[in-house]
Amino acid sequence: MYYPVQAQKLTVTGNWNLSINSSYISDAGVNLATTVLSPTNVTIIDVDVQPRNSYNRQYKSQRVLVQKVDNVWNVGLTLWCKRTITVTNPNITLGTNFQQITNNSLLFFNTVGEQFNIPIQYQLSGLSLLIPANNYSTTILYTLLDN
């Protein structure tokens, strides 16, 4: 029987689960804090190369796009992402400032060669008491393309 071995080029690990309650209000009479940040490494991205030869592992130029696919969402909420810089790496460029994740795929960052353990942070904006209490979720989809 034939079992294909799937070569992983892009690996995304880690979800952001957030629970908003009264602790996000500074005092009675005030609205919710409008912006909430995730941990700085809530999602980790590994960018591999194919074919995985020594040249590509060092020099292949690729780009990562990001978009969201809403499951249950509210138009008042906006989601943002950025790449957290832990060590300066000249082989990863762009993506270090928060950019809004939209329902259309947009360039997030570029890579040269294989790049593992790229930490990603999210920001949720637009929180308000006027948004109905509910469970909201969206799938953040990353796509790796060759440059």
Partner 1 sequence: MKQLVIFLVVVFLFIGNQFSSAQNTGSALASIQLNPIALMDIEPNNSSVVLNVSPVTEAGTMNSTSMSNNIKWINFSSSLAPSTPNRTILVGVASGNLPAGVRVKIQTSPYSGTGNGSIGNQTNEITISSTYQTLINNIGAGFTGNGINNGYMIRYVLEISDFRLLDFNNSQTVSVSYILSEI
Give the H or E element holding residue 80.
strand 78-83
Based on CB atoms, which residue is closest to partner 1, 96 or 139? 139
For the bound state, the minimum distance from the C-beta of residue 73 to partner 1, rounded and expressed in Å, comes to: 9
Interface residue list for partner 1 (CB under 8 A): 2, 4-22, 25, 27-32, 42-43, 45, 50-51, 68, 77, 79, 120, 122, 124, 127, 129-145
- The residue written with tokens 């259309």 in the block is 104
Cβ 147 to partner 1 shortest distance, Å: 13
| Beta strands 35-37 and 92-93, pairing class | unpaired
Min dist. Cβ of residue 86 to partner 1 (A): 18
Q: Which residue lies nearer to partner 1 by CB, 21 or 104?
A: 21
Burial (0-12, 13-18, 19+ Cβ within 10 Å), 120 = buried
Shortest Å, Cβ 101 to partner 1 = 9
By C-beta, is 8 or 88 nearer to partner 1?
8
Which residues lie across from 93 on neighbouring strands?
110
Instruction: Return the sign of the alpha-carbon dihedral for residues 139, 140, 143, 144.
Output: negative
